[in-house]
């Protein structure tokens, strides 16, 4: 009977805590919705076709074949018709991939047709951007499905001695598909996509948890109060926390990066590492301030713990860590925008995969800095409200 009363008390306590209730019941629904959008097998890819020379006659066949796949959207390439220089074409195609207008581009030149007439297989060129494995594999999948059809639509040479059987085999002569990556390569794996975001994620995750818990303890134990009675300012305490956590965060990043380097033999230059450190440092500052804010909002350690999944889970699912968020409904993309890790990840990938300088990510860095300022301000306001002394 006693345990029943204990149970009643527990249920009563929890049911009076709206935050716990909402978290308990709504979070699984939200997570499942996200997983649904992510694994739902309809990653739409934008594919463009560029043909030159005699290959132009077969462009429409290609397009109609590819269009049969409902996950493919054919787009027209904004490349002047009169442009025929292979190098310029190569550059223009890659540019289109970089701006995100196309996920994959098929290029078929004059040589393709002449090769076919000469009885060779001929090479079809497929261009992909390459930094997003999910998109890349969706493009490959769509093209692979259509390869036989595509080959069938191409001209064949049947000489007089050829039997109908022979003609059949010639007709089905496969093409060679040559893949061109803007970034990465055939060996580019899922792990290469994750790698650059892992240090930032871990730093964020652990800094947030540690700062939430330690600062909560500092408040509950009364040591924060003692520090504020001593001639120590609130901002000095915060600065101390920043420094302490910076130490942990740097150590952690070094360990994570070193481990990953060893594991997958990814080559980083020093300037990449340095630029990357800036991103990780900003991420750490965001997480630290967010942790302090959470500990001020929480009335007890249990509530402080609740903030952890609340902050961490959306970032796992929506901040471009596991999958690309662009195919998700607008609603989720807006949420993703207000998640610090979305921006940290974008900058990290730009630096580590595309090997761009830090200045290229100025927008992301600015947004992260903005987060720090906003969260710090809110945190100070909340702290002042809770504790007049600060």
Partner 1 sequence: MNAGTVSTEYILRMEDVVKTFGGFTALHQTSLTIPGRMVFGLLGPNGAGKTTLLRLVTGLISPTAGKLTLFGGLEPGASAARAMIGYMPQSLAIYPNLSVVENMLFFGRMYGMGEGALKTRIDEVLETIELSGRRDDILANLSGGMVRRALLGTTLVHKPKLLLLDEPTAGVDPVLRIKIWETLRKLCDEGTSILITTHHISEADRCDRVVFLRSGVIIGDGTPDDLTRQYQADDLEKAFVVATKEGVAT
Coil, strand or helix at 281: helix
Pick one of 223, 271, 377, 384: the residue that binds partner 1 (CB under 8 A): 223
* Cα dihedral across residues 204, 210, 214, 220: positive or negative: positive
Of 262 and 388, nearer to partner 1 (C-beta) is 388
> Taking the complex as a whole, how short is the minimal distance between the CB of residue 386 and partner 1, in angstroms?
12
> Taking the complex as a whole, how short is the minimal distance between the CB of residue 378 and partner 1, in angstroms?
22
22 is a contact residue toward partner 1 (CB under 8 A): no
CA 372 to CA 282: how far, in whole Å? Answer: 8
239 is a contact residue toward partner 1 (CB under 8 A): no
Of 230 and 243, nearer to partner 1 (C-beta) is 230
CA 8 to CA 14: how far, in whole Å? Answer: 10
Pick one of 227, 310, 312, 378: the residue that binds partner 1 (CB under 8 A): 227
Which tokens sit at 135?
């998109």
CA 280 to CA 204: how far, in whole Å? Answer: 8
Task: Give the count of beta carbons closer than 10 Å to the beta carbon of residue 227.
Answer: 16
Of 10 and 232, nearer to partner 1 (C-beta) is 232
Count of residues that bind partner 1 according to CB under 8 A: 15
Which tokens sit at 271?
């300037």
Residues 91-110: x where in contact with partner 1 by CB under 8 A, - otherwise, as a string: --------------------
Contact stretch for partner 1 (CB under 8 A) within 107-115, 168-176, 221-229, 308-316: 221-229
Distance (Å) of CA 361 to CA 24, 281, 345, 349, 355: 37, 15, 11, 10, 11
Contact stretch for partner 1 (CB under 8 A) within 7-15, 71-79, 162-170, 217-225: 217-225
CA 333 to CA 377: how far, in whole Å? Answer: 25
> Taking the complex as a whole, how short is the minimal distance between the CB of residue 241 and partner 1, in angstroms?
14
Query: Which residue has 């996200």 as its token pair?
Result: 34
Of 203 and 237, nearer to partner 1 (C-beta) is 237
Pick one of 61, 69, 324, 387: the residue that binds partner 1 (CB under 8 A): 387
Pick one of 64, 225, 251, 309: the residue that binds partner 1 (CB under 8 A): 225
> Taking the complex as a whole, how short is the minimal distance between the CB of residue 214 and partner 1, in angstroms?
10
Of 301 and 387, nearer to partner 1 (C-beta) is 387
Mention every residue, 6+ apart, whose C-beta is less than 8 A from residue 22.
Answer: none
3-state helix, strand, coil in the chain (%, to 5): 70, 5, 25
231 is a contact residue toward partner 1 (CB under 8 A): yes
> Taking the complex as a whole, how short is the minimal distance between the CB of residue 383 and partner 1, in angstroms?
13
Pick one of 28, 222, 309, 370: the residue that binds partner 1 (CB under 8 A): 222
Nearest to 107 by CA among 82, 79, 134: 79
DSSP, residue by residue, 199-229: HHHHHHHHHHHHHHHHHHHHHHHTHHHHHHH
User: Are the beta carbons of 44 and 72 closer than 8 angstroms?
Assistant: yes
Class of residue 174 by CB neighbours under 10 A (exposed 0-12, middle 13-18, buried 19+): exposed
76 is a contact residue toward partner 1 (CB under 8 A): no
228 is a contact residue toward partner 1 (CB under 8 A): yes
300 is a contact residue toward partner 1 (CB under 8 A): no
Which tokens sit at 222?
């009364």
Pick one of 220, 278, 308, 382: the residue that binds partner 1 (CB under 8 A): 220
Contact stretch for partner 1 (CB under 8 A) within 32-40, 161-169, 224-232, 347-355: 224-232
> Taking the complex as a whole, how short is the minimal distance between the CB of residue 217 and partner 1, in angstroms?
9
Q: Please state whether 119 falls in left (phi above 0), alpha (psi between -120 and 50) or beta.
A: left
The footprint of partner 1 (CB under 8 A) covers: 220-223, 225-232, 387-389
């Amino acid at each position: 009977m006693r345990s029943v009363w204990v149970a009643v008390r527990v249920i009563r306590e929890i049911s009076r805590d709206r935050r716990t209730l909402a978290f308990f019941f709504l979070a699984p629904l939200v997570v499942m919705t996200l997983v649904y959008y992510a694994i739902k097998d309809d990653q739409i890819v934008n594919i463009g076709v560029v043909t030159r020379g005699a290959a132009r006659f077969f462009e429409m066949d290609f397009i109609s074949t590819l269009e049969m796949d409902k996950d493919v959207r054919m787009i027209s390439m904004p490349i002047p018709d009169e442009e025929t220089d292979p190098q310029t074409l190569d550059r223009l195609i890659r540019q289109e991939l970089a701006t995100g207008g196309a996920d994959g581009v098929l290029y078929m030149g004059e040589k393709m047709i002449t090769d076919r007439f000469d009885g060779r297989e001929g090479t079809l060129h497929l261009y992909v951007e390459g930094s997003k494995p999910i998109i890349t594999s969706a493009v490959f999948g769509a093209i692979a499905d259509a390869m036989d059809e595509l080959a069938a639509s191409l001209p064949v040479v049947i000489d007089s001695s050829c039997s109908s059987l022979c003609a059949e085999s010639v007709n089905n002569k496969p093409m060679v598909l040559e893949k061109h990556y803007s970034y990465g390569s055939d060996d580019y794996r899922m792990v290469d996509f994750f790698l650059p975001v892992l240090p930032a994620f871990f730093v964020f995750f652990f800094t947030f948890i540690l700062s939430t818990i330690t600062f909560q303890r500092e408040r509950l134990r009364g040591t924060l109060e003692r520090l504020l009675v001593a001639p120590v300012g609130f901002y000095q305490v915060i600065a101390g926390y920043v420094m302490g956590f910076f130490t942990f965060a740097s150590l952690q990043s070094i360990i994570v990066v070193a481990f990953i380097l060893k594991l997958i033999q990814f080559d980083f230059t020093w300037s990449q590492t340095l630029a990357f450190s800036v991103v990780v440092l900003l991420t750490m500052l965001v997480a630290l301030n967010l942790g302090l804010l959470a500990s001020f909002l929480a009335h007890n350690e249990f509530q402080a713990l609740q903030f952890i999944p609340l902050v961490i889970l959306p970032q796992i699912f929506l901040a471009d860590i596991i999958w690309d968020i662009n195919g998700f409904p607008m609603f989720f993309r807006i949420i993703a925008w207000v998640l610090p890790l979305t921006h940290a990840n974008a900058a990290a990938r730009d630096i580590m995969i595309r090997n761009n300088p830090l200045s290229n990510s100025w927008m992301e860095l600015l947004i992260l800095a903005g987060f720090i300022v906003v969260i710090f301000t809110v945190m100070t306001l909340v702290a002042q409200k809770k504790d007049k002394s600060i």
